Amino acid sequence: MNIDVSVIVNGYYGDCSRMVKIGEVSTEKQLVYDVSRECLNRSIEIVRPGVMLYEIADAIEDYAASQECSVVHQFVGHGVGIEFHEPPQVPHHRNRIKIPLEEGMTFTIEPMINAGVAEAVIDPITQWIATTKDGKPSAQWEHTLLVTESGCEILTLPK
């Protein structure tokens, strides 16, 4: 199960999510649980001034593919601050968005990793619930990051 939490503190938004395993999980579910978390960690490791936005997606896509998983294209990370969704969009799949990261930028990274095909299907009634097109497991982890002078600070880590 994915738990996604957004908060407003002193006029600023934060956004994060994590997976929670309930009971016994299959090998395939454990795979996407682990791969999605590692994709997030690997992408956070490269965040620093001067890195191009597309490099975040490359780190995610490279690791997911190496584990025979796919990356959902329909959902992206986003800038976050005094509004919940701000520019830039932060795709997690291969792209060539040549926006250099700069100190002070605040955004989310939230890769959704699938065990099967990359495509998600959005429920036409709720316009919110998403499932994988092939019915295979999917997992997502998310943090809000602040680009610092020498790297980044994860703003949504529990203290």
pLDDT tens-digit map of 33-87: 999 999 999 999 999 999 999 999 999 999 999 999 999 999 999 999 999 999 9
Between CA 93 and CA 99, with CA 94 as vertex, the angle to 5 degrees is 100
What's the pLDDT at 159? 77
Which pTM does this prediction carry? 0.94
How far is CA 36 from its chain centroid?
A: 8
Q: Would you state the pLDDT for residue 129?
A: 87
In whole numbers, what is the pLDDT of the chain averaged over residues? 96
Report whether 9 contacts 106 (CB < 8 A): no
Average pLDDT over residues 19-33: 97
**Exposed (0-12), middle (13-18) or buried (19+): which is 100, by Cβ within 10 Å?**
exposed
Please provide the CATH number assigned to the domain covering 9-19+27-154.
3.90.230.10
Check residue 29 and give its pLDDT.
97
The model's pLDDT over 106-152, given as tens digits with 9 standing for 90+, comes to 999 999 999 999 999 999 999 888 899 999 999 999 999 999 999 99
Domain regions of the chain by residue span? 9-19+27-154
The rounded distance, in Å, linking the Cα atoms of 5 and 14 is 8
* Cα separation, 55 vs 25, whole angstroms: 32
